[in-house]
A and B are shown apart, each in its own frame.
Chain A
Amino acid sequence: MRIKCPHCGERDWSEFRYGGDATKQRPQHGTGDLKAWHDYYFLFDNPKGPHTEYWQHVLGCRQWFKLARNTATNEATGGGE
């Protein structure tokens, strides 16, 4: 799999680290509702298809960025901020 870093261009997957679903909304600081924290932390949409996720270019610029990728095909359409 090839991933396009928004800063360094297209590189092999092995230079990157996966960082999970980027669409999850962290509950507001101080939220007391444990169910909201549980859902945020433990539940995953885990779709078979388009997925927006965090990656870090560990062996490159070390920047975190968002990547749109299809989990059914691994086609990545390029990273954004």
Chain B
Amino acid sequence: MAKGYSIFSLARHALRPSEPWPEAWAKPEPKSNYDAIIIGGGGHGLATAYYLAKNHGMRNIAVLEKSYIGSGNVGRNTTLIRSNYMMGGNTAFFEFSLKLWEGLSHDLNFNAMVSQRGQVVLAVSPVQVDVFARRGNIMRLNGIDAELLDRGEVMKMLPYLDYSKEARWPVYGAIFQPRAGTVRHDAVAWGYARAASQLGVHIIENCEVTAILRDGDRVTGVETTRGKILSGKVGIAVAGHSSHVAAMAGLRLPVESHILQAFVSEPIKPIVHHVVSWGAELFYLSQSDKGGLVFGGHIDGFNTYTQRGQFARQQTVMECVSSLMPFAARLRLLRSWGGIQDMTPDGSPFICRTPIRGLYLNGGWCYQGFKATPASGYTYAHTIANDNEHELNRCFSLDRFEKGKELDEFGIGNWTYKQ
């Protein structure tokens, strides 16, 4: 297994090409018993295992992944990180996540290519400028960086937008978070997997959980395609399949699974130097290091587990690109793909205990799972190790709808069709 990556190990392997790089993480056979099991080897599951080992000293743990590492949403998102949140509970959580991103490459000894290029959210009406000013003030009161830009400043920063009189959505200003940016998402999965493996975590791929075993109201383990594995602590971190896995334990969740598409254009020379989001329609775009424009929009709008997007949604998103950046209308689309989101009624996630003792839930991430990865793993590990919530994820409980404590950050959750 690979130990430390450094300039010296790079030089050594460059000089000795016959000596292949060792595998980044070990591929052990599953044991029959672990202190904790994480279902789902995505970003959140791997981060949870890493922080369980690093912060809580639990080394006898396993991550069970039904496919291969990086096959799910951790490799399907548009790689954005930001913390421009407004609701109490979300602000502190996502800012903590952004701080973890800032030190992640050093922490994991794996270059996650964290690029804090800044995010510009464009306002398309005077009212929206006021709304963004309010958001910025709340962010700054919470110690998060935010700047309000007027039209002239936006024109200097993003000269390629449509500022003509004919622009369908004229730019009135923007809110700017300089510390937001992008991360290489594959490196996040691989980095967490490698770091967790080095701490003794078993990462078991091609191992699908088929049943959750219970003794009364206590969880005792899981049944998998590679045999029965026992554990008194089982954590679910399976994104779009949250309802599917929770149903194995007899739980019904406030979650509906929807598809979100992402797109990459052919590569072009560097032109978009920030993450650009839009106030007219849910739309976000950045330019990758390879030069492709990476962008996405809304969910398709109906529940599905297929990772195939619908054409009509693609058309809407392309209209966003060409309306905002007319130069992009002549670009060819290189690839598009879909990921399954677990949408919640208030647009906020769950990191919590469940009514079944020893069973924990991490899910309901809607559009925002990737940027939350480090803080999600950190607080979920705390919740699993201590059988109690961390102060940062206390708001993300499963019973918040019963108590009237929704976190309506996005407001419409899975009910896009009710608008």
Contact = CB atoms under 8 A, between A and B. Distances in A.
Interface in A12-34: 12-14, 17-20, 34
Nearest to A44: B256
Contact of B310 (A13, A17, A20, A38): A13
B255 A46 contact: yes
Interface of B: 241, 243-244, 247, 252-257, 301-306, 308, 310-312, 345, 401-402, 414-415, 417
Contact of B402 (A1, A12, A20, A35): A35
Contact of A14 (B247, B257, B310): B310
A77 to B, nearest CB: 15
Task: Determine which residue in B244, B302, B415 has the highest number of CB atoms from chain A within 10 A of its CB, and name it.
Answer: B302
Nearest to B415: A20
Contacts of B308: 74
A12 B310 CA distance: 10
A38 B303 CA distance: 20
Contacts of B255: 44, 46
B298 to A, nearest CB: 13
Given A12-B312, A48-B241, A17 B304 contact: no
A8 interface: no
Q: Which of B252, B255, B303 has the most CB of A within 10 A?
A: B303
A72 B305 contact: yes
A24 B318 CA distance: 36
Contact-size category for A: 20 to 34
Contact of A48 (B253, B302, B305): B305
A74 B306 contact: yes
A51 B303 contact: yes
Contacts of B247: 45, 47
A42 B303 contact: no
Contacts of A47: 243-244, 247
Given A17-B417, A42-B401, A43-B252, A72 B306 contact: yes
B238 to A, nearest CB: 11
B252 A44 contact: yes
Given A13-B310, A14-B312, A38-B401, A71 B304 contact: yes
A1 B253 contact: no
A18 B417 contact: yes
A22 B321 CA distance: 36
A80 B306 CA distance: 23
